[in-house]
Amino acid sequence: MEVLRAESISKIYCQNAVSLQALRSVSVTIQKGEFVAILGRSGSGKSTLLNILAGLDKPSEGKVYIDGTDIFHLSEEKRTLLRREKIGFVFQAYELLHALTVTENIRLPELTKDADYMRELLDTLEIRQYEKSYPDQLSGGEQQRVSIARALINHPPILFADEPTGNLDSKTERTVIDLLKNLAEKYGTSILMVTHNEDLVKDADRVIRLEDGEIVNG
Ligand SMILES: Nc1ncnc2c1ncn2[C@@H]1O[C@H](COP(=O)(O)OP(=O)(O)O)[C@@H](O)[C@H]1O
Ligand SMILES: [Mg+2]
């Protein structure tokens, strides 16, 4: 079953009369429970693509359908509601709120109070001991794991993750990848993960390679 479809997405950034084409007619389809890796060099358009597919940024051209809904045809308000219901997002720069503790950050988007799942995530991601700590007291890798827990707490049907293991050692990276693969299998979560680690290709059901804003295979 198709959960996401993007048709001919182009993105042009304009800054100080200079325009830069970050995406060139990119089309992608994601099935339920599929684990897709997006690979490409720095600057190839990976974050831009992820932000647009998740409805966080608008394309210059093209359409994105989530469960059949044209998301850029919706009002800002309705798009936010759709995102809250259907999407989890792990940001490259974590984007944690510094005045809130670890548990408060994770609970932030929580709609259902599922204490067991909270505990499971804290344990699996090995951040249980930091429950009452603040983000500034944590290392980059620990903050990254908090942002992963936050993205997962609502059981989103689609998870977008922008280099979610970029600051983790290889053992912790393995733990996170296994957690994501389990979720895809157990709950049918569709996962789109940006990485530049070629080793993770074998974990994905499918790989999309971006070069200079274009898909070169997949
Ligand atoms: N907000 C922005 N304004 C202008 N240019 C941008 C902006 N965001 C990204 N870019 C440019 O778009 C291109 C793709 O960036 P990005 O999607 O962040 O690549 P990646 O995530 O693969 O490193 C780069 O050349 C980058 O400099
Ligand atoms: Mg990026």
pLDDT digits (tens, 9 = 90+) for 12-62: 999 888 999 999 999 999 999 999 999 999 999 999 999 999 999 999 999
Alpha carbon of 61 to ligand 2 centroid (Å): 20
Residue 130 φ/ψ, nearest 5 degrees: -105, 5
Alpha carbon of 47 to ligand 1 centroid (Å): 7
Q: Is 93 near ligand 1, meaning CB less than 6 Å away?
A: no
Q: Is 143 near ligand 1, meaning CB less than 6 Å away?
A: no
pLDDT for 100 equals 93
Burial class of residue 206, CB neighbours in 10 A (0-12, 13-18, 19+): middle
For residues 68 and 25, the answer to whether their CB atoms sit within 8 Å is: no
DSSP classification of residue 100: S
pLDDT for 114 equals 80
Q: Is 51 near ligand 1, meaning CB less than 6 Å away?
A: no
For residues 55 and 87, the answer to whether their CB atoms sit within 8 Å is: yes
For residues 190 and 34, the answer to whether their CB atoms sit within 8 Å is: yes
Q: Is 40 near ligand 1, meaning CB less than 6 Å away?
A: yes
| Average pLDDT of adjacent 10-residue blocks, the chain of 218 residues | 97 93 98 96 96 97 98 96 94 92 86 81 95 96 94 94 93 92 91 91 94 89
Q: Is 46 near ligand 1, meaning CB less than 6 Å away?
A: yes
Return d(Cα 72, Cα 59) in angstroms, integer: 9
Q: Is 135 near ligand 1, meaning CB less than 6 Å away?
A: no
Among 39, 31, 84, 68, residue whose Cα is nearest residue 190 = 31
Most ligand 1 atoms within 8 A of CB, residue of 47, 162, 212 to mutate: 47
With a CB cutoff of 8 Å and minimum separation 6, the contacts of 79 are 55, 71, 72
- Diameter of the chain by CA atoms? 52
Domains defined along the chain, listed by start: 34-58+74-217 (3.40.50.300)
pLDDT for 112 equals 60
Return d(Cα 158, Cα 188) in angstroms, integer: 9
For residues 192 and 161, the answer to whether their CB atoms sit within 8 Å is: yes
Q: Is 112 near ligand 1, meaning CB less than 6 Å away?
A: no
pLDDT for 201 equals 87
Q: Is 189 near ligand 1, meaning CB less than 6 Å away?
A: no
Among 92, 96, 93, 87, residue whose Cα is nearest residue 67 = 87
pLDDT for 68 equals 96
Alpha carbon of 113 to ligand 2 centroid (Å): 32
Alpha carbon of 6 to ligand 2 centroid (Å): 19
